[in-house]
A = this chain, B = another copy of it.
């Protein structure tokens, strides 16, 4: 390394490689120089070469494959999960199913439902008391054979008990909005709260999230006139999915004042 800068060697090498990726000298799928090549090219020890590549992995630009090498990762997410693109009509399927269909895939999922009691956090989101009865359903959504979305949903049994939709996936109707419609609970709003973070190890394993890629953790609640009727915790890879929200604004001649 030229000792001209006091920037550490591995960061200078990372800068070099990053520049080549960003300016197109190295394209998606291209192999980076191997660790031994970097050692020779820059005259550094192996750990420095490794640190340089590791830096780019953390930035999500590079993926390492054991026994093969390090490769430039594709940049943009491939599927778009859209909330609110209703154009005047109520949604007939979930944002997930629509996104998979739009990408030419076939949406599939597994689920497990169980009656349980609300924790404090879930109770707050559903506007009920901790310990109240809820139906909890855990989902794994697949795109092909690969799980791409995890979800755990909760519905107050005070609303659904004794109705045909008490078991979310047992009846002929699927999707929260059509199901609630069928028992006269007309959903008026959905609120999604979105956090991005590094995946927990079990999430990374199930969703096969590459190193350096974060996940979206979404807390979604459906409301019927300000009454929460369902809430869910959703985890998806930010590598595979982009989120999109279409939010209409009230007209300027709105009757309500400040």
Contact = CB atoms under 8 A, between A and B. Distances in A.
Contacts of A243: 193-195
Give the bracket for the number of chain A residues in contact with chain B.
35 or more
A252 interface: yes
A215 B193 CA distance: 15
A188 B253 CA distance: 12
A238 B254 contact: no
Q: How many copies does the complex hold?
A: 2
A245 B245 contact: yes
A247 B84 CA distance: 6
Given A189-B246, A189-B247, A243-B193, A238 B256 contact: no
Given A89-B258, A214-B214, A252-B186, A80 B198 contact: no
B252 A238 contact: no
B245 A189 contact: no
A123 B77 CA distance: 21
Interface of A: 18, 58-60, 76-77, 80, 83-84, 86-91, 177, 181, 186-201, 211-216, 238, 242-252, 254-258
